[in-house]
Amino acid sequence: MTENDPSRRQQILDAALKVFSHKGFASATIKDIAKEAGLKSPALIYWYFPNKQELLVSILMELVPILQQVATSPQTLMEQPPEETLMMLAQSFMKVFGTPLGGQMLRIFLSDIGHAPELEERVAGVQKMMLTFFSAYLQRQIDLGRLRPCDTQSAARIFIGSLLAYVMSSEVFHWLREGLADPQIYARQAVETFLEGMRVRSDE
Amino acid sequence: MTENDPSRRQQILDAALKVFSHKGFASATIKDIAKEAGLKSPALIYWYFPNKQELLVSILMELVPILQQVATSPQTLMEQPPEETLMMLAQSFMKVFGTPLGGQMLRIFLSDIGHAPELEERVAGVQKMMLTFFSAYLQRQIDLGRLRPCDTQSAARIFIGSLLAYVMSSEVFHWLREGLADPQIYARQAVETFLEGMRVRSDE
DNA sequence: TCCTCTTGATTGAACGTTCAATCAAGAGTA
DNA sequence: TACTCTTGATTGAACGTTCAATCAAGAGGA
């Protein structure tokens, strides 16, 4: 049993997260990370991690539970009416990706997931599952007559996309932050717009 | 043989686009690009370009006219009712970013714009301008009583985001392509949903 | 037709640097 | 002593870039 100091390990991971999100995986050097972590020698990193890629993998590993956290207790959400479920979903989304941590994660994910192929598969699986779940939920609500019939695959992406735009504006295209509303306000408006847009039309 | 290629420059750029979009700027090597372009020596690239970064800059330079192409004749669009303008906008967006070229561009932009700081500024300017224009348009339509009052900055991002989700699904998270609707169909649904969601509410 | 000179394009070899990874030697502790 | 952690020095490979040499093709005389 090798008893690696867990705090030192985390310290290195925190530094790596920061450096990766700023320079990208390929441009970030072990030296950069060591300096950011306040280590006197880059060699120490190799006591806790076998190589540079494992740093990336360890960071992105946390993305799976984070993503799943967005869809808390899907069973419960599945039964609620759209007003409740969509708002819950939007708020989870904002809570997770609205933080600096979430933003850094997203940036690393967008830029460097290709450098961790085995994780790409995992995360892809989670994403697909979530989208499928959400589509199924929308279909259910349509069947119940609570939403108007349409292609649920598209509808799911439209809703998620409207939320994604907020995170992209605040964390990726940081020059679009100007004039950006509060995450809560934005989430409410996104939900409201989508919900109204999906209402069954009594007229015509 | 050796038909005095004046298109050699473009041939190199095409190869660079492909390699950059696949491996990212930092991980792509001059050798990779030379091989992709069918050159016998990487040195030849330096006859046409001063350095590796200039390849990236030359590629991303094309992004400015491409982006502006999305907002064709803003004056005309500005005057039309939402049904027309939003549909035009959505279709331009899809036309530009729905192609493989647009997808590759987007991926390079997302991953590697940081490696071309002088361009980041340019593109940021264009993006901001487009968002501002669109917000102003929405405000105008609200004032005209054609859309319900709301925060137009958020509304603009919500609409663009719903379109962005399509491109992200098809070109970035390629594992989400499955079940993806036709771009035309998707655009129509996105516009319809947003439009209905922004309608003035006569009831209540 | 033959020869010379010029120009743009192309090549393989090499240079200097960077970087991930390794190593051997310790420091601190139990 | 034995084990965990830490360090500066070192290694070997890969990379961007440079460079002298070469090639192919044309221009202009004689």
Regions of chain A short of the pLDDT cut 70: 1-4, 72-75, 203-204
CB contact under 8 A, B24 and A112: yes
Between the alpha carbon of residue A76 and those of residues A94, A128, A147, A198, B4, the distances in Å are 19, 20, 19, 21, 68
Q: Please report residues of A whose CB lies closer than 8 A to that of B190.
A: 154, 158
Which of A157, A163, A199 is closest, CB to CB, to B166?
A157
The contacts of residue B76 (CB under 8 Å, 6+ apart) are none
Mean pLDDT of B32-61: 96
Q: What is the pLDDT of residue A2?
A: 40
CB contact under 8 A, B165 and A157: yes
Contact of B33 with chain A, judged by CB distance below 8 Å, is answered with no
The model's pLDDT over B176-203, given as tens digits with 9 standing for 90+, comes to: 999 999 999 999 999 999 999 999 977 5
Distance CA B114, CA B43 (A): 26
CB contact under 8 A, B196 and A201: yes
Contact of B163 with chain A, judged by CB distance below 8 Å, is answered with yes
Between the alpha carbon of residue A103 and those of residues A109, B27, B88, B109, B140, the distances in Å are 10, 23, 32, 17, 33
Contact of A158 with chain B, judged by CB distance below 8 Å, is answered with yes
DSSP A75-93: HHHHHS-HHHHHHHHHHHH
Which of B24, B114, B165 is closest, CB to CB, to A158?
B165
Enumerate residues 65 to 94 of chain B having a beta carbon within 8 A of any beta carbon in chain A.
Answer: none
Q: How many Cβ atoms sit within 10 Å of the Cβ of residue A79? A: 11
pLDDT of residue B114 exceeding 70, the answer is yes
Q: What is the pLDDT of residue B78?
A: 84
A96 vs chain B: nearest CA distance in angstroms?
A: 18
Q: What is the pLDDT of residue B1?
A: 31
Q: At what angle do helices A6-23 and A30-37 cross, to 10 degrees?
A: 120
- What domains lie within chain A, and their CATH numbers? 6-59 (1.10.10.60), 62-198 (1.10.357.10)
- Nearest alpha-carbon partner for B166 in A164, A125, A94: A164
pLDDT of residue B113 exceeding 60, the answer is yes
Q: What is the pLDDT of residue A120?
A: 94
Q: Please report residues of B whose CB lies closer than 8 A to that of A180.
A: 153, 157
- Tokens representing A109 are 């994910």
Residue B43 (CA) to nucleotide D27 (C1'), in angstroms, measures 29
Give me the residues near strand D, CB below 7 A. Answer: A 1-5, 8, 39-44, 47; B 1-2, 4, 28-31, 42-43, 46, 50-53
Question: Which amino acid appears at position A160 of this protein?
Answer: I
Q: What is the pLDDT of residue A78?
A: 84
Contact of A169 with chain B, judged by CB distance below 8 Å, is answered with yes
Q: Which nucleotide is nearest to A42 (CA to C1')?
A: D7
Q: Which nucleotide is nearest to B48 (CA to C1')?
A: C9
Distance CA B183, CA B95 (A): 8
- Tokens representing B202 are 């006569």
Distance CA A164, CA A160 (A): 6
Q: Number of CB pairs < 8 Å for A and B? A: 149
Distance CA B156, CA B93 (A): 14
A136 vs chain B: nearest CA distance in angstroms?
A: 13
**Interface probe with B: pick from A127, A157, A202, most Cβ of B within 10 Å:** A157
Q: How many Cβ atoms sit within 10 Å of the Cβ of residue A201? A: 7
Q: Please report residues of A whose CB lies closer than 8 A to that of B186.
A: 151, 154, 157
Least confident span in B9-13, B83-87, B194-198, B199-203: B199-203
Q: Which residue does chain B place closest to A188, by CA atoms?
A: B154
DSSP type of residue B50: S
Strand D nucleotides where any atom sits below 7 Å of a protein CB: 4-9, 14-20, 24-25
Residue B43 (CA) to nucleotide C15 (C1'), in angstroms, measures 14
Which of B26, B157, B199 is closest, CB to CB, to A24?
B26
Q: Which nucleotide is nearest to B40 (CA to C1')?
A: C11
Q: Which residue does chain A place closest to B174, by CA atoms?
A: A124
Q: What is the pLDDT of residue B162?
A: 98
